[in-house]
């Protein structure tokens, strides 16, 4: 494993996130900011708004605190906080009109894939799913002249790495908007705006909130013009996030940096355990020198991330034995919470793709994905080793002999 580029989060941003909104707006001098649930605000006179706020769909003080904290972490000029990651993504598609082309990764988030495909089918815009990790895709983009280039790195669940700076440069050359879904790494581990992207989108459901108890999203803009459009559509479509969700998300974000350190330490220990096992055919994690995106990840990320996928040699029987034997990883979708999770993409997150499409995307029946949490590393490693032994026992003999 080579070292990362030293592109660490500026210390002031760590401090800013921990202390976001402290002492704000309280006649009682509360240290932590209050939660503003009110849907509406007094006017001073007809047509005379008292201050910044009139109606919570448009703007809300609690939601604004989260938006400012996320924008600061990503290094953007501002953010819109939405009701889910998918509604944030839907807002971004408002930048596309009929006839415009959206280029999106073939293995983008399943919900994004579904939305883009359905909108293209009804003629809202055109979509071309492509492989941003392949060199020849740059020529394809130059030829197709998309209005928007969508990136997601690392990808789900294979963890392919895309060179954000290279794509942002190309997008600028051809006048396209470059969007990065940064959900998998969070701004602690990757800041696409610093690499030239125009817009960043998050499912705050994942690392930013980090406690698996809120569904939410955010769009962060590089400049005022984009931010204005994003805020306008968020209000017009009515997809802004609820104040209570905003409050919880801000609470979660205060520990993002501390959590991220433990997530990563644990993930690296789990990667070691997987790599050393005879039951495992392949481990996907950008920290591994053999990972095809390792060099790019080392350059553009400031942490390796805590998502891991791996293929068990024994296929489905091994998967069943493994999942049955594991105790500290909950069998569930989603990621980025304090609790460790295991998912089986074939039957869970990617079940809606037909079998050939899954196979083409590199998703086999023996593939599992971990979201490594912040439990004690020793417990997680012991748990994984025990489950791997069970998986090994369930391997058909032929699979083991080939190994
Ligand atoms: C979860 C997720 C989304 C969708 O977010 P929701 O909050 O579930 O609507 C989008 N992109 C990625 C990469 C995700 O993991």
CA angle 200-203-209, nearest 5°? 115
Which residue among 7, 41, 54, 57 is the active-site one?
57
* pLDDT at res. 352: 80
Q: Which of 367, 43, 81 is nearest to 227 (CA)?
A: 81
Contact 21, 250 (CB under 8 A): yes
Q: Is 200 in the pocket of ligand 1 (CB under 6 A)?
A: no
| 203 Cα: distance to centroid of ligand 1 (angstroms) | 5
Q: Is 85 in the pocket of ligand 1 (CB under 6 A)?
A: yes
**92-104 burial code (b ≥16 CB/10 A, e <16):** bbebbeeebbbbb
Q: Tell me if 369 CB under 6 Å of ligand 1.
A: no
Query: 128 to each of 44, 73, 371, 401, how far by Cα in Å?
Result: 51, 31, 29, 42
Pocket test for ligand 1, best of 187, 192, 204, 206 (most atoms within 8 A of CB): 206
The answer to whether 184 and 154 have CB atoms below 8 angstroms apart is yes
**Residue tagged active-site, from 163, 181, 198, 229:** 181
Alpha-carbon 36 to chain mean position: 27
Could you tell me the distance, in angstroms and rounded to a whole number, from the CA of residue 348 to the centre of ligand 1? 15
For ligand 1, the distance from its centroid to the CA atom of residue 98, given in whole angstroms, is: 25
State residue 127's pLDDT score. Answer: 98
pLDDT value, residue 2: 45
The one catalytic residue in 63, 160, 206, 313 is 206
**Residue 14: Cβ within 10 Å count:** 16
- Counting other chains too, the contacts that 289-292 makes at CB distance below 8 Å and 24 or more residues apart are 289/1, 289/2, 291/159, 291/161, 292/133, 292/160, 292/161
User: From the CB of 86, is ligand 1 less than 6 Å away?
Assistant: yes
What distance in angstroms lies between residue 152's CA and the mean position of ligand 1's atoms?
A: 11
Residue of the nearest CA to atom 5 in ligand 1?
Answer: 85
**Residue 57 falls in the annotated catalytic set:** yes
The CA R_g of the chain, rounded to the nearest whole Å, is: 22
* Mutate which of 205, 249, 252 for ligand 1 pocket (most atoms within 8 A of beta carbon): 205
380 lines ligand 1 (CB under 6 A): no
Specify whether 181 is catalytic. yes
Q: Would you call 282 a catalytic residue per the annotation?
A: no
pLDDT in tens, 224-254: 999 999 999 999 999 999 999 999 999 999 9
Our answer on whether the CB atom of 325 is closer than 6 Å to any ligand 1 atom is no
Distance 63 CA to ligand 1 centre (A): 19
Q: Is 145 a catalytic residue?
A: no
DSSP, res 285? -
* pLDDT < 50: residue spans in the chain: 1-2, 402-403
Is residue 109 within 6 Å of ligand 1 at its C-beta? yes
User: Mean of the per-residue pLDDT values for the chain?
Assistant: 94
The model's pTM is 0.94
The atom of ligand 1 lying closest to the CA of 205 is 7
Determine if ligand 1 sits within 6 Å of the CB of residue 183. yes
Q: Which residues pair with 308 in a beta bridge?
A: 370
């Amino acid at each position: 494993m080579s070292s990362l580029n030293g592109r660490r989060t500026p210390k002031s941003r760590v401090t800013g996130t921990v202390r976001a909104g402290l002492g704000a707006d309280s006649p009682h001098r509360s240290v932590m900011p209050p939660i503003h649930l009110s849907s509406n605000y007094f006017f001073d006179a007809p047509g005379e708004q008292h201050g910044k706020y009139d109606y919570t769909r448009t703007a809300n003080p609690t939601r604004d605190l989260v938006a400012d904290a996320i924008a600061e972490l990503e290094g953007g000029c501002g953010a819109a906080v939405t009701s889910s990651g998918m509604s944030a993504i839907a807002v971004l598609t408002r930048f596309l009109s009929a006839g415009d082309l959206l280029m999106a990764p073939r293995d983008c988030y399943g919900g994004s894939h579904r939305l883009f495909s359905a909108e293209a089918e009804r003629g809202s815009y055109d979509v071309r799913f492509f492989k941003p990790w392949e060199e020849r895709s740059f020529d394809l983009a130059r030829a197709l002249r998309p209005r928007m280039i969508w990136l997601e790195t690392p990808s789900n669940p294979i963890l392919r790495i895309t060179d954000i700076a290279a794509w942002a440069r190309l997008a600028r050359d051809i006048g396209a908007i470059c969007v990065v879904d940064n959900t998998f790494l969070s701004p602690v581990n990757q800041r696409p705006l610093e690499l030239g992207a125009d817009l960043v989108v998050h499912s705050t459901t994942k690392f930013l909130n980090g406690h698996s108890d809120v569904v939410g999203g955010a769009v962060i803009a590089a400049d005022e013009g984009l931010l204005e459009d994003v805020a306008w559509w968020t209000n017009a479509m009515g997809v802004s996030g609820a104040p209570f969700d905003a409050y919880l998300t801000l609470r979660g974000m205060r520990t993002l940096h501390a959590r991220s350190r433990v997530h990563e330490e644990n993930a690296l220990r789990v990667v070691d355990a997987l790599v050393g096992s005879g039951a495992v055919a392949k481990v996907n994690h950008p920290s591994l020198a053999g990972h095809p995106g390792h060099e790019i990840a080392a350059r553009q990320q400031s942490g390796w991330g805590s998502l891991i996928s791996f293929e068990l040699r024994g296929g489905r029987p091994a998967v069943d034995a493994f999942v049955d034997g594991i105790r500290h990883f909950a069998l569930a979708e989603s990621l980025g919470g304090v609790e460790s999770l295991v998912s089986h993409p074939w039957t869970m997150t990617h079940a809606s793709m037909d079998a050939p499409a899954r196979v083409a995307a590199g998703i086999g029946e023996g593939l599992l994905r971990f979201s490594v949490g912040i439990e004690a590393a020793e417990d997680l490693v012991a748990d994984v080793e025990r489950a791997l032994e069970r998986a090994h026992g369930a391997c058909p003999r032929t699979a083991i002999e080939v190994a």
